[in-house]
Chain A
Amino acid sequence: DAGVIQSPRHEVTEMGQEVTLRCKPISGHNSLFWYRQTMMRGLELLIYFNNNVPIDDSGMPEDRFSAKMPNASFSTLKIQPSEPRDSAVYFCASSPRGQGFWTEAFFGQGTRLTVV
């Protein structure tokens, strides 16, 4: 298996532009997580999907952020409009269990977003 695949690996965009990050989880995994990593705040959970349904989006910072999972093999995280403070590395992770994080979560390589 190729693991969790994220695209793009790097994104540079201007403030105010829409940004879409993409994730393909490992086949057969039914839990998907989006995380944001910054120097100041560390690793923060943004949203958790189970069987394509958002279960916990309490970490989504504001309405400019939205996430979708239209099917079991694809998810997007969208920021519209983007701001410089959104600059971070965004990770997608998937897990084979229905609930809980007590089993191993597999992380993608991340998307480094820079908003100028």
Chain B
Amino acid sequence: AQSVTQLGSHVSVSEGALVLLRCNYSSSVPPYLFWYVQYPNQGLQLLLKYTTGATLVKGINGFEAEFKKSETSFHLTKPSAHMSDAAEYFCAVSGSGGYQKVTFGIGTKLQVIP
């Protein structure tokens, strides 16, 4: 069994400020973790993923996330928000190996204030 909790369905930041979107997961097996972004009227696009190896993962558009097993967290960060970052962000978890269903979080809408 696995689940994802995204804290805060809406997050607002000022342009240039730090972006921090929180994700905690639960998994009975070693997890694979993902962050996806969804722009209005679009499908989801992969930002970054953690499978094995380095726990700090860098993705597209300056985003990164750190896998912390002890905290069961995979928070998404970006040092400086741009207006173009306004979108909805989804954290997802799957088990490692073979076919494992991916479970998505409910999503966090990021608003960037000029």
Q: Which residues of A come within 8 Å of B, CB atoms? A: 4, 42-43, 45, 48, 50, 55-56, 91, 93, 99-102, 104-110
Contacts and interface: CB of A to CB of B under 8 A. Distances in A.
A102 B107 CA distance: 20
A101 B2 CA distance: 14
Nearest to B107: A42
Given A55-B99, A102-B51, A43 B104 contact: yes
B97 interface: yes
A107 B41 CA distance: 12
Nearest to B52: A102
Given A4-B43, A107-B45, A45 B101 contact: yes
Given A100-B98, A100-B100, A109 B42 contact: yes
A42 B106 contact: yes
Chain B interface main SS type: loop
B17 interface: no
A99 B45 CA distance: 20
B99 A50 contact: yes
Given A43-B90, A102-B49, A104-B46, A56 B96 contact: no
Given A48-B99, A91-B43, A93-B43, 6 more contacts: A43-B90, A93-B44, A102-B32, A102-B96, A109-B41, A109-B42
B34 to A, nearest CB: 8
B18 interface: no
B56 interface: no
22 contacts: A42-B90, A42-B104, A42-B105, A42-B106, A43-B44, A43-B107, A45-B101, A48-B99, A50-B99, A56-B99, A93-B44, A100-B94, A100-B99, A101-B99, A101-B100, A102-B49, A102-B94, A105-B46, A107-B44, A109-B41, A110-B42, A110-B43
